[in-house]
């Protein structure tokens, strides 16, 4: 029988009240609290906390506090990652962000979702869908990336966009719901 955590990361319905998951969220809360209290010059402390919180961290990773997440260890970022102030990542499933990606202020990335059926939703069960962001992607301020979305390499997500579907490589999307407004030319 799989654990609630195994079901969660597999995108299957799970019980978020499971003691192991509660403890993992408390761990993430403690690490983000420490991170968010650091001073700008505490780069070694920030790097250490990021490495402890995230599943994997590439070189030259920088996250401006405040930052919030559910678990942290389902977040995997490549080299040259930058997240501006007030980013939130709900990482009940894997969030993979490639190399040289930029997140503007207030970007939210969601893998967590809930059943549409009200009776099932009332039961408290949740599930998730992974999010994948390719290399060299810029996500503008206050954009929202919804569960299950894949964003292709070299894409730009306009500020305030609500991304509900996959984004091809080399395009600019904007709006709610986000749609392609143009291709990026070399």
Give the CATH number for residue 133.
Answer: 2.160.10.10
Q: Express each pLDDT in 57-115 by its tens digit.
A: 999 999 999 999 999 999 999 999 999 999 999 999 999 999 999 999 999 999 999 99
Residue 42 in tokens: 């505490």
Query: What's the mean pLDDT when you consider all of the chain?
Result: 97
* Domains: count for the chain: 1
pLDDT in tens, 154-184: 999 999 999 999 999 999 999 999 999 999 9
Measured CA angle at 72 (ends 19, 46), to 5 deg: 130
Q: Residue 121: which H helix or E strand, with range?
A: helix 118-122
Whether 28 has a pLDDT exceeding 90, the answer reads: yes
Cα dihedral sign, 121-126-162-117: negative
What six digits make up the tokens of 48? 């250490």
Residue with tokens 């040289």: 100
Cis bond upstream, residue 177 (ω within 30): yes
Q: What residue numbers bound the domain in which 15 lies?
A: 4-183
Cis upstream peptide for 94 (omega within 30°) = no
pTM score, two decimals? 0.96
Catalytic residues: 114
**Within 10 A of 1 (CB to CB), how many other CB atoms are there?**
4
Distance of alpha carbon 46 from the chain centroid: 18
């Amino acid at each position: 029988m799989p654990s609630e955590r195994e079901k969660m990361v597999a995108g299957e319905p799970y019980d978020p009240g499971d003691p192991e998951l509660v403890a993992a969220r408390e761990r993430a809360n403690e690490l983000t609290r420490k991170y968010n209290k650091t001073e700008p010059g505490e780069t070694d402390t920030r790097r250490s906390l990021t490495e402890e919180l995230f599943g994997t961290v590439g070189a030259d990773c920088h996250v401006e506090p405040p930052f919030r997440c559910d678990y942290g260890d389902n977040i995997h970022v490549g080299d040259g990652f930058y997240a501006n102030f007030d980013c939130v990542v709900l990482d009940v499933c894997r969030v993979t962000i490639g190399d040289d990606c930029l997140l503007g202020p207030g970007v939210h990335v969601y893998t967590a979702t809930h059943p549409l059926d009200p009776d099932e939703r009332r039961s408290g069960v949740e599930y998730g869908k992974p999010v994948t962001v390719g290399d060299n992607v810029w996500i503008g301020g206050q954009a929202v990336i919804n569960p299950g979305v894949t964003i292709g390499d070299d894409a730009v997500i306009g500020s305030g966009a609500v991304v509900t579907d996959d984004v091809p490589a080399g395009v600019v999307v904007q709006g709610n719901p986000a749609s392609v407004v143009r291709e990026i030319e070399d």
